[in-house]
């Protein structure tokens, strides 16, 4: 039994308390129950742009990039575009000194269209098509992360002399995360297996290629990784591999990409990732292992994506109906499939009015024709939540826009940038013309 069940009158007080841990750093609650983000009230944005809508706090994005760059100033910060990508965001990140990790020809072309130089781009995916590789080859200065022998064969056939590459290695480090986002263990679909001899063979082939230049090694242990020790183990493993490559092939590789996957705090109960501790332990492990093997320390590359943009995002929904303990909103799995895919949990809040009702656990469900279209279970909301209310969902800046669909032929919502009291549309809402444009009858 909860305290609100014992003393229901306390429910509204607990609900109104604003804990900013999962919200943008500029967020605050006003006396009317509105949330102010980037100097603008979310209820006003919902009235102007409609719902659902996704709001992105520019100041939060920029501040997070600066935190990473301050923690490891000598490392290259390559933002993982798969988390969220649009030209406006790319320009913010480029202005803050970030590079970009892209997964496809489409992501590459978008980043280039935003004015990013090819020397600040890594092309990286476990299943690149020939078209993806051609786009990378035709982007001067772009570096390609090789993930399979088939990619290596294709690249050797289309690349000119001097094409810079990294070899992705599976380090067999268990990051203790959800199995769908664990990428560094044996048997995963990513990278060359060291223990099966694939990594050494890939390195050998690249070194003997007349057109490819081996810059270094790459690994990625997973996503939503909370343990700093997992990254430390990966660094020790990879430096040992660098030492082995020097002994076997006589080369010292200058670059080590240790990926991203740093945990994001989606609810107050979840731990915050220790960025300072991560930086300290990775730096110590890197230099200790390099000294032990008498290797020059390679330059590190980090690939944060989710941890840059997740907290900057807030989604606003309107309640369509309430059926018992189920609240139905005007979005759902088409704009946020993560609860259905991973069981993801979010912090939600009534928006635009204060309630004196007790806080009760409610299910927030989407509008789609699926029983699994549930955005949250046992969500603490006022018992008088009703049709027409607005709900704000925290920490929705990562993997929402990229994973959106048009299920039930519903248009994708807009992405709005806010900063210093001004809003602008980064991605407009889709309408019926957009939905029909691909249908040629």
> What number is the average pLDDT over the span 167-174?
78
% of the chain residues with pLDDT over 70: 91
Query: Catalytic: which of 53, 219, 369, 395?
Result: 369
Q: Are 144 and 162 in contact (CB under 8 A)?
A: no
Tokens of 84: 């969220």
Does the structure show a pLDDT above 60 at 4? Answer: no
Distances in Å between the Cα of 86 and the Cα atoms of 91, 110, 178, 371, 417 are 9, 7, 27, 32, 11
CA 417 to chain centre: 17
**Which segment of 102-116, 146-160, 173-187, 354-368 scores lowest on mean pLDDT?**
173-187
The listed range with the strongest mean pLDDT (35-39, 193-197, 232-236) is 35-39
276-297 b/e (C-beta count within 10 Å ≥ 16 → b): eebbebbbebbeebbeeeebeb
Q: Is 139 marked active-site?
A: no
| Cβ within 8 Å of residue 344, ≥6 positions away | 266, 338
Which pLDDT value is given to residue 163? 98
Reported confidence tier of residue 363, pLDDT bands at 50, 70, 90: very high
Q: pLDDT tens digits for 409-425? A: 999 999 999 999 999 99
Q: Are 311 and 64 in contact (CB under 8 A)?
A: yes
Which ranges constitute the DSSP H helices of 74-163? 87-95, 105-113, 130-137, 149-158
Q: pLDDT tens digits for 217-237? A: 999 988 888 888 989 999 999
Distance from C-alpha of 81 to C-alpha of 100, rounded to nearest angstrom:
7
Q: Are 406 and 382 in contact (CB under 8 A)?
A: no
Which pLDDT value is given to residue 172? 65
Reported confidence tier of residue 7, pLDDT bands at 50, 70, 90: very low
Which pLDDT value is given to residue 120? 98
| Cβ within 8 Å of residue 89, ≥6 positions away | 56, 61, 309, 426
- Torsion angle of the four alpha carbons 44, 46, 48, 54, in this order, in degrees rounded to the nearest 10: 120
Which pLDDT value is given to residue 180? 41
Q: Average model confidence (pLDDT) for the chain?
A: 92
Does the structure show a pLDDT above 80 at 12? Answer: no
Which pLDDT value is given to residue 3? 44
CB atoms within 10 A of CB 100: 27
Which pLDDT value is given to residue 375? 98
Phi, psi torsion values for 110, nearest 5 degrees:
-65, -45
Q: Which helix (H) or strand (E) is 318 found in, with range?
A: strand 313-323
């Amino acid at each position: 039994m909860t305290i609100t069940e014992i003393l229901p009158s306390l429910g509204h007080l607990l609900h109104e308390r604003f804990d900013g841990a999962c919200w943008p750093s500029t967020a605050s609650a006003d006396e009317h129950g509105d949330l102010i983000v980037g100097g603008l009230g979310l209820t006003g944005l919902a009235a102007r742009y409609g719902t659902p809508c996704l709001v992105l706090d520019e100041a939060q994005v920029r501040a997070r990039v600066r935190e990473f760059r301050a923690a490891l100033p000598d490392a290259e910060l390559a933002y993982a575009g798969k988390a969220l990508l649009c030209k406006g965001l790319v320009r913010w990140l480029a202005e803050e000194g970030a590079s970009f990790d892209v997964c496809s020809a489409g992501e590459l072309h978008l980043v280039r269209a935003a004015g990013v130089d090819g020397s600040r781009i890594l092309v990286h995916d476990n299943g690149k098509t020939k078209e993806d590789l051609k786009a990378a080859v035709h982007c001067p200065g772009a570096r390609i992360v090789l993930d399979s022998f088939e990619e290596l064969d294709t690249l050797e056939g289309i690349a000119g002399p001097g094409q810079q590459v990294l070899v992705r290695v599976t380090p067999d480090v268990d990051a203790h995360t959800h199995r769908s986002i664990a990428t560094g263990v044996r048997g995963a679909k990513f990278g060359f297996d060291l223990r099966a001899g694939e990594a050494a063979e890939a390195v050998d082939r690249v070194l003997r290629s007349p057109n490819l230049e081996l810059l270094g090694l790459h690994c990625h242990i997973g996503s939503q990784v909370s343990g700093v020790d997992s990254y430390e183990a990966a660094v020790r493993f990879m430096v040992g591999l660098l030492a082995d490559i020097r002994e076997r092939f006589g080369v010292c590789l200058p670059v080590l990409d240790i990926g991203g996957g740093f945990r994001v705090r989606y609810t107050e109960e979840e731990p915050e990732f220790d960025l300072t501790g991560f930086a300290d332990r990775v730096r110590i492990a890197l230099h200790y292992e390099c000294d032990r093997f008498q290797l020059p320390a390679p330059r590190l590359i980090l690939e944060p994506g989710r941890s840059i943009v997740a907290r900057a995002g807030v989604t606003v929904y309107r309640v369509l109906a309430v059926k018992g303990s189920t609240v139905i909103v005007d979005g759902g799995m088409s704009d946020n499939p993560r609860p259905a895919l991973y069981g993801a949990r979010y912090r939600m809040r009534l928006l635009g009015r204060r309630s004196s009702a007790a806080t009760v656990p409610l299910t927030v469900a989407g509008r789609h024709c699926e029983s699994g279209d549930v955005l949250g279970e046992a969500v603490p909301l006022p018992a008088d939540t009703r049709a027409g209310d607005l709900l704000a969902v925290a920490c929705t800046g990562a993997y929402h826009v990229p994973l959106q669909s048009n299920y039930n032929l519903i248009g994708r919502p807009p992405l709005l940038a806010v900063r210093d009291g001004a809003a602008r549309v980064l991605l407009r809402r889709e309408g019926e013309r957009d939905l029909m444009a691909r249908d040629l009858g």
